[in-house]
Each structure stands twice: as C-alpha cells, then as structure tokens.
Structure 1
C-alpha cells in the first residue's frame, strides 16, 4: 500500500497565494572585492584585455600613449603590463579606469580624462593644475600608479593612513569594517561610498559570475559548450555528452572573455546514463554520480546492451561520487515517468522505487528524454511515495505570462530577470522560455534578481554620469544644487552639490509613470475616480467621486500638471497588489539602475522623504527617456483630452507647469520637462534642452529654489549660458 495517504495527492489543486517579491543583491560596504581577485594578475592575457576593449567599442581599443617609462604602447599593453609588474588583476585596473573617468565606455574622452585616467594623486580638494602632481599626469603614468599603489598598500599595511582589514572606520558618516584588505585599500584610495559602490557595480557587471547554475554557455569563437556549476564552467567533451544532459538550442553564446570569468571545473566526458566498466566494477553514470551494479548479471537482467558498455580506467572516473548500488530489485534506476489515469494530477517521477509528483511542464522542460509509461493506481501503490514535488532543474528559463516576467531557476528558486534589456544582453530567447501560470510560480521560492547595466555592456548605450572626476560649478549658480550633462551620454559638464540629497517633490511622478508602464498599466482602459482611495492635496483637475478617466489621459495629466490624485490612481491600478507594493517595485528598479542615493516612499512627491541627488536624477532621467510614451508625455506644452465622465464638459485642455514653454524666443528648444514643488525644498526642475544652432542636447537639473515666483529664472539662465557660448565647455578638455 501507499506509504502516505492518497488524500495528499490533491496538492496540485490547492490554491497558493502568489508571493512574487523581488530579491535584490545589495552592495555590502564591508566587502567589495576579495584579495584573491585583486591579485589575480594572470586572470587575463594581453589579448583578453584587447578583446574586452574591442567588444565594448571602447575608445581605448585603438588608443596609444607613452607608458610609465616613456615608451609608446597600446592601452591594452599598458594595462596588461602594469598588472604583471605589480601582481594586480588587469580587470581591477579596467574597473578603476571606468570608475574614475568612464574611459572604457566613453566614445570621446577629453584629454583631461586621459591624463588623469585613474584619478591618482587628484584629491577632493586638489586641482589637476597643481604643480605637485604633474609627474603623475598621463595615461601610462596613471595606470602604472594606480596598480602600483595597490601593491604598495599590500606591502605597507602598517602605515597609519592605510585603512585596515577588520578594523572599523567611518566612510561618509557610515560605519564600515573592511572584511578584506582589498576593500580597505579601495576606501584608502577613494574614501567615499558612492565611488566604491560604483566600483562594485562595474566589477559585478563586467566580471561577476552572472549566469545562474545550470546555464549552458557556448564559446563565440569555437564549438565548445560549457555547463555552469557552482561558479565553475565544465566543458562538454563532445556533443553526445551535451545532448544527453541538455538541449543545445538553449545554449547562450558568449565571448571568451566572459567565459574567462569562471574557473574550469571537471570535464564532462561521458554521456549521461552511460554504462562504464572499470577493471573491477560496472557503473551507471547518473549525472555526476557513479552507481555500481551489484554484478554483471544485474547489468544483463536490466537489459543493457553489451555494445553500450564503455571501458574506462580508474583515472577516467576519478572525482565522481559513488552512489547507491543497483540490484535486480531496483525500479527504474535511470528514471521513468508514470502516468496514473485515475488521478487528477497524474504524473509521477519514478526512480529506484520512489515516486514523486511532477508537473507536466517540468517533464516537458527537463525530462523529455524519459519514457512516459501508463500505469494504474495499484502500480503506484507498490512504490514509496514522497510528496516533495520535483523541481525545475537549474538553468530552466521560465516566463510568467500573468505579469510578463522572465525567471531563471537556480538552487530551487526562481531568479527574476530585472528587465528586457538584461534579458536581451544576456542572450536569452523568449522561444526558449517555458510559460508558467501565477499558481505554478507561487510554488517556487524567490531568489536574487538578475540585473545587468546595459550602459556598461552595450557598445551603443553608454552612461558616463558615474565618473568620479571632480565636477566644477563653472556656471556659478546661486542655487543650492544643479547639474548640467550631455544627453544621452550623461557626461556631466558642470554642477554643484551633485551628490547631496534633496526632496524631489513631483519629479517623483516620472518614476510613477515609468513603473506603471512596466507593470502593464493599460492606457486604453479607464479608471473610476474614488476620493476615498486617491484623494490628496493637489487635485488640479478637480475630479469628483465616481468620475471616470481614460488611463492614457490620467498618465499625461499627472506628468503635465502634477496632479497628485492621479499619481495615486495610477500606482494603485498597476501590477502590484497595493500602493506600498508599487513603491517597493520603484525602489527595486532604482537599485537596479544604481541610483543608490534615491528613496521613494509614496507616488506623488508630496512627502519630503522622497529624496534623491542631482547625479541620481540624471541617471533616472536617462533611463526613463528610453520609454517613448513618457518621452512624449513630458514634451507637451499642453494636452487636450475628452472628459468621458461628463459629456457636458466636452474637451479639456491642460497646460504644462513649466512656464518656459510659453516663451517662443528662447535660444533653445525644450524637449522634455518635469517640475516639482513642496515647501520643504522649494522648486525643482528637470529639463532636456536642445541648442537651436548646434542641435546638441543637454539635461538641466535645478533643485531647491526657495523663491517660487522666480523658480524658472535660474534654470533659464543656465540653459541660455549653455547654448550661448558664454561658457566654453571645450575648455574642460584642458
């Protein structure tokens, strides 16, 4: 009889509450990178460095400069040789160059960026004109100095100014206890959280072991296939070994430089479920386990063909785990699927006399090669029933159709892929994803989110606003904070207090709109307004209880005139189950984007605890502008729509809250704009402007203007100076 009651078999019909919370792997200020990683100087060859620069379309791929001895060399040679000379990983040097001056991704770096490539000898209060630091000027010197100082730190840990492993310190008013010498040295080199968070993010994006366990990778330069297991890559010796474990069409093609991020594991030499015969024993290969047959008679009794037996030496099978012995009483030692017609949930995975429930989708995804046999309930009752359902195998790509979201299974958990950009960059294909329902997804625990920064990986989308290079207040603004940057690269050309946090007021609504659209907020549907659910200060449209508004008009009105009620309406009618859940998805996305100094607590901007910095707002804006719907909505001087809830009103016209739109004589065009105001901070403004003559585009961000009546005066002055030539941005190249 069954070892457990059949009543348990209704598990498949139970209702599971969806628990699809996203997990985010956060920056740990106490441990940024290991000492082994920093000192792995042989991780890459010179050609690997060159290929890395080539793949990213980097300016440095063709750049030559004198090295520290004055000999002209390529950037790749300078980086590689500095790594060898000081026993420092060339990947560490590349990450430093990106963190300090965005040199890997900047298509046209200034001479100043190249001359101070690693930020070496340039302190927060220094200028690059200081005569005392000119000996460190030049790309070759900077690379050599940056690698050399890390080696010097390792050799001089007793010096008082060198931060210490396992010794508490304070960085930007935050207590930190470095858990590796490398982490301590990073804080010695750059004593700020922002710069080191940026270092970690760059390192993880470029060199972190990004793909989950179970992923099949294919070399872009050869026919080699590899299986990822516990941060190692295991090569398949031949196609037979591959196809008995996985479907080759699921493989993701990657450059060899990406494969080099994983250490080599044991080669997968034999097809799965091979019969291997050593001098003394015959085995069934069950993935990485060798299961001995009790005797040759058992091999024959089970029905294996002698021609299928592979002779091996003890060396061939070194490293395999020895599993349970197979006897004549072993039922389906290689596994089989039972289908029980009498049961509502008919499928069971049977192996060694043990039966486990399994869903048809898991069979299709991971067990297609197993035979499905029709059996009766009486047959099942002869087996031991274990009610732990069979999970999806590691590396399985899932598509949750209810919310249009992709996941990858790893260690029994589903890891959400952050966005479509990450999905595409990593090489996943929708055709390889297994569609699942919310009920199936809810049974799988949540794992850490998978996110890649496209601006660090794509040769087309590059964001340069994270550079640690000093930012000058060349516009001499009276405002507490402002920032001006090139668009779309994000290269910051001027600013003041760009890393200081301020309440952002209604600039919040850009995030509300972006997240709503990513949560499938249906613009073609309408929503009934409820004062109980949505009422808040700032109902500019004077919506009444029970009135209906088209979602498209709600989104446009929220952005154009900062209607707060509509922000709450949109937040509560998007994907997540509550407004609080909606806010959490915004903060998760901000973490994905690296907007580390931004925190949102509600969707309108009325709460002064919605905070950000000018640098973060630049990053947020550049990302949001990739959405064409929002890009159009925040570039409307006015917006007209039909009031569907009251035919007597007819068409309604709303005017953008940025009054600069009304000035037709401006020397610049406003391509996008969002205003914000609350008493706690004053007036904020974010604009994308275009020089009417040169057609160059710039982001202008101004914060904390306390004089409400003059809230557009300083932004206008900055934009006019920007396009008039009064400020020579070209001088920044010196």
Structure 2
C-alpha cells in the first residue's frame, strides 16, 4: 500500500518545465473517482446485504478481533466501522478489494488479512516497524483507516478545503507524471490515502463493477429514506407522485430499495402523476383518456357518453400536465373498448385483452396477473370472440423478472425484451429478491425477444449462470 499517513510531512508539489499530460489513456476519470455522497452514504447497503456480499470470497466465514478485542465476524467489523465513522460500507468493501483483493480472494494469506486496508504501510515502510504494529490486524486496519478518513481527511476538507498533505478540490497536483485536479472531497481523500494512479484506477474500476449499475429501463427504484418511488425509463428517473398512479401502472412489478445517491445518478424526467385511464381536461376543454404515456382525445360528447365515461371522473389539468404524454389516436363514437377489457372464451378458457375492436391472446396465468391484476374477466362465446381480429400475444411488462420452468436462466424484461441476468452475485447486487421472480412456461418467456445481457459484477472468469432454478 502506498499512502501518506499522519506522521508524514506535508507533500510539496513540484512543477516541471515540460507540461505534463492531464490524464492517461484510460476509461477512468482521474479527476473524479467517487462522489461525495457515495463516500458517506450509510444507507447504501444494509447489514444483511453486506453479509451476502462477502460470500463471493472467504470473508463470509472469517472471524477476528475488532479494535476493542471482541471476537466478531468480518461483516460485523466492517459494519461497525462504517457506522462509527459515517462511511458507506460499499466504500470499505472496495478499499479491501483494492488493497488486498480480500473480497474475492478464496484463500487470502495472513499478511493480506493483517494489513487489510494497507493502512500505515508506505512505500518504504517495513511491516515489522514497531511504530505501526498497533494498526496490524483486520479489525485494527478497518477501524483506524476509517477513523483517519473521517476524522482527518474529511474533517480537514470540510473545515479548510484541503488535507494535511495539501490535497483538495480544485488543487492541481502531480501524481505519477500526470496532472490531476480532484473534483470533490471523495477524490481528494482517495489520493491522500493512495498517492498513485494505479491504485486509484483500480478503486474506480472495482467500484464501477460492483456498485455503478445502469438499471434496465422499466425498473422501479425506491428511496430508502423518503420512500419515494422512481420509474427508470430510457436512462431517466421519473417520480411517481401519487399512490393511485403507482398502483394502476405498476401493481406487480418489483421495487428495488436504494439510496438517494443511486437515484440521483439519473437525470430527472417527467413525473408520473395520474393513474392509468384517468380523464384529464385541458384548458381548452378537450377531455383526454390517459393510458401509460399516451393521451387520447375524446372527439365529442356523443363519443364520451356512448363509451360510458363518467363526467364526475374528469380532472381539470394544465398544459404542462398534458405535455408529458404523447398524442395518440382520438377516441370516436366508433371506438370499441378504448380502455381495454378482458374476455374469456367460454369453451376453451382462453383469455384475451380486447382493445379497439381487436383481441390479443394471453398465453399464461402469469402474464395475466402481471399485466391485469385485479381486472374483471367477462365470459364470451367463441362466436362473439371470432368477430374480433387477433393481434400479437400480450407480453410481460417492463421490470418483470421471469424464469422458465426447469431452467436456471433468470431474465429481466426491459423495453419489451428479455435480458439475461448472468449470475447470482449480479442479481443480488442490483437489489432484486428471489420472491420477485415469476416462474412460468417457456413459451411465455420466449415471447420477448432476447436483448443485451445485464453486465456481470464479477470478473469474466468468475461469472456463471445460476446453479439452480428458483
């Protein structure tokens, strides 16, 4: 571990007559390694998730003394220091992997464990130096490194804008012949702890692999602190501002609890405020039927009455309220079931979604529940159903987790396609839960064409498909 520690003098940054490159050829932004919120977000990972995260290596079963001499699990040692010094447990996990590969190493040495965070061991230091023996040991390493980060580096940055070794946001420094200008406190702390590019590049790559997830379009994220639910759609977060809107559009989709910093990674899009099948009246007087992200204008009072809409359900809204919806085909007096209905063949038992004079077959009970949970089903004779042209099969909604009976492959539905989740670790890291998986027949899964695989959080050599079907 190459780092500056408390007893080292302040680093003096020398300039060169020859201009230095601003950054090397790499995918890592050396000026921005980690967000400030990500460093201190104590809610990003709960204790149970932390324990599960350690199962990828030997630390799941490792027990040792903490800084107070108490015998504890590795997870408890990490958790206690994160809580004591208001740090994100994910940050400590990444540091342990960056320094000694301890999270994924199946058989670490005693030396790796003894200097787990690389704390107090500088370039030219001897690990046998009596001065640093108080920092030796897994529990001591995590405690004292966390303490230094909070009570020295972070406190200095917040009080005066730079650390004791001269690092701070906006302060240009030369590291390994590269000019770096830390963009924030978290990046400054990482360079204060490890004044070399390679170690910090490794930190950034590990962090991104484990904790920077691009959630598939159709994912519902819930803020752990506020309880607010956001819909991720095409790379943007859309606030769901009413319970009725949530229940009408996403009654069965999985919801993933995350920290605010995860949600804020996405630019904000238009809110989802009104439930499906709302009747919204524009300032001009046109009444629109809302279905998902589309508004359909009702072209006359006759059409309104003929279809059976209730004027008491009309909501007066602004143009801004309507602007978030795409304009769809108008609803006329000739429209049949513009809001859609479910019809069941009285002979075969098959169920169809009927909309605008067309019937769409529903292949399985699982799709029926995922799409139309709580809807009334109306019996129809085969002859009556025959009058409707047949459209495509109804598919699972975006955000659904599906598994074909007898298969180990779990998919998430996104933008109408099924995307393979490559391994158990990735499944858990994204925040999905086993009970959220819908088990159905193979044909229902194959209705959705195959899309791009979800990136694994594991190294490619470690990535495997789920061992068992859930």
Q: TM-score, normalised by structure 1?
A: 0.41
Cα pair distance change 1:305/1:255, threshold 3 Å? same
Distance between the aligned counterparts of 1:333 and 1:146, measured in 2?
66
Does structure 1 retain, via aligned residues, the 8 Å contact 2:238–2:272? yes
Distance between the aligned counterparts of 1:341 and 1:271, measured in 2?
31
What does 1:5-24 correspond to in 2, within 5 Å? Answer: none
* Secondary structure of residue in 2 paired with 1:244: helix
What does 1:121-270 correspond to in 2, within 5 Å? Answer: 127-128=124-125, 152=172, 189-190=197-198, 199-209=204-214, 211-247=215-251, 250-270=254-274
Aligned position for 2:412? 408
Cα pair distance change 1:355/1:162, threshold 3 Å? farther
Cα pair distance change 1:314/1:442, threshold 3 Å? closer
Instruction: Determine if the alignment matches structure 1 residue 349 to structure 2 residue 357.
Output: no
Distance between the aligned counterparts of 1:214 and 1:112, measured in 2?
38
Does structure 2 retain, via aligned residues, the 8 Å contact 1:219–1:254? yes
Cα pair distance change 1:112/1:127, threshold 3 Å? farther
Instruction: Determine if the alignment matches structure 1 residue 590 to structure 2 residue 456.
Output: no
Does structure 1 retain, via aligned residues, the 8 Å contact 2:251–2:373? no
Instruction: Determine if the alignment matches structure 1 residue 309 to structure 2 residue 294.
Output: no
Does structure 2 retain, via aligned residues, the 8 Å contact 1:451–1:592? no
Does structure 2 retain, via aligned residues, the 8 Å contact 1:103–1:113? no
Distance between the aligned counterparts of 1:31 and 1:437, measured in 2?
45
Structure 2: segments with no counterpart, 5+ residues: 1-23, 51-74, 105-111, 127-144, 158-162, 181-195
2:41 maps to which of 32, 43, 49: 49
Does structure 2 retain, via aligned residues, the 8 Å contact 1:53–1:61? no
CA apart distance, 1:51? 4.2
Q: Which digits, 9 at most, give the CA deviation of each residue in 1:16-75, with x for residues without a partner?
A: xxxxxxxxxxxxx9874579x938857x288x43444886567597489xxxxxxxx968
Does structure 2 retain, via aligned residues, the 8 Å contact 1:402–1:437? no
Does structure 1 retain, via aligned residues, the 8 Å contact 2:254–2:399? no
Cα pair distance change 1:370/1:52, threshold 3 Å? closer
Instruction: Determine if the alignment matches structure 1 residue 365 to structure 2 residue 365.
Output: no
Aligned position for 1:114? 119
CA apart distance, 1:102? 6.0
Cα pair distance change 1:419/1:592, threshold 3 Å? closer
Does structure 1 retain, via aligned residues, the 8 Å contact 2:217–2:233? yes
Aligned position for 2:32? 38
Distance between the aligned counterparts of 2:153 and 2:213, measured in 1?
28
Distance between the aligned counterparts of 1:299 and 1:313, measured in 2?
21
Aligned position for 1:526? none
Instruction: Determine if the alignment matches structure 1 residue 279 to structure 2 residue 288.
Output: no
CA apart distance, 1:290? 1.3
Distance between the aligned counterparts of 2:372 and 2:242, measured in 1?
21
Q: Which digits, 9 at most, give the CA deviation of each residue in 1:193-220, with x for residues without a partner?
A: xx857743421321323x4332333333
Does structure 2 retain, via aligned residues, the 8 Å contact 1:409–1:415? yes
Does structure 2 retain, via aligned residues, the 8 Å contact 1:60–1:103? no
Does structure 1 retain, via aligned residues, the 8 Å contact 2:221–2:229? yes
Aligned position for 2:340? 335
CA apart distance, 1:260? 3.8
CA apart distance, 1:440? 3.4
Does structure 2 retain, via aligned residues, the 8 Å contact 1:218–1:254? yes
Does structure 1 retain, via aligned residues, the 8 Å contact 2:28–2:204? no
* Secondary structure of residue in 2 paired with 1:268: coil
CA apart distance, 1:98? 5.4
Aligned position for 2:107? none
Q: TM-score, normalised by structure 2?
A: 0.61
Aligned position for 1:579? none
Q: Which digits, 9 at most, give the CA deviation of each residue in 1:119-165, with x for residues without a partner?
A: xxx8xxx6457xxxxxxx98657996897699748xx9xx98679xx
Structure 1: segments with no counterpart, 5+ residues: 1-28, 65-72, 80-90, 117-121, 130-136, 164-187, 455-586, 594-623, 628-734
CA apart distance, 1:246? 1.8
Does structure 1 retain, via aligned residues, the 8 Å contact 2:94–2:206? no
CA apart distance, 1:369? 4.1
Query: Over aligned residue pairs, what C-alpha RMSD do you find?
Result: 4.9
Does structure 1 retain, via aligned residues, the 8 Å contact 2:344–2:379? yes
Instruction: Determine if the alignment matches structure 1 residue 390 to structure 2 residue 394.
Output: yes
Q: Give the greater-gyration-radius structure (CA).
A: 1
Distance between the aligned counterparts of 2:25 and 2:443, measured in 1?
39
CA apart distance, 1:452? 6.4
Does structure 2 retain, via aligned residues, the 8 Å contact 1:97–1:104? no
Cα pair distance change 1:38/1:370, threshold 3 Å? farther
* Secondary structure of residue in 2 paired with 1:445: coil
Aligned position for 2:65? none
Does structure 1 retain, via aligned residues, the 8 Å contact 2:303–2:332? yes
CA apart distance, 1:289? 1.3
Aligned position for 2:298? 293
Cα pair distance change 1:237/1:415, threshold 3 Å? same
Distance between the aligned counterparts of 1:291 and 1:146, measured in 2?
61
Distance between the aligned counterparts of 1:364 and 1:52, measured in 2?
32
Does structure 2 retain, via aligned residues, the 8 Å contact 1:242–1:248? no
CA apart distance, 1:408? 1.7
CA apart distance, 1:337? 2.8
Does structure 1 retain, via aligned residues, the 8 Å contact 2:82–2:92? no
Does structure 2 retain, via aligned residues, the 8 Å contact 1:278–1:314? yes
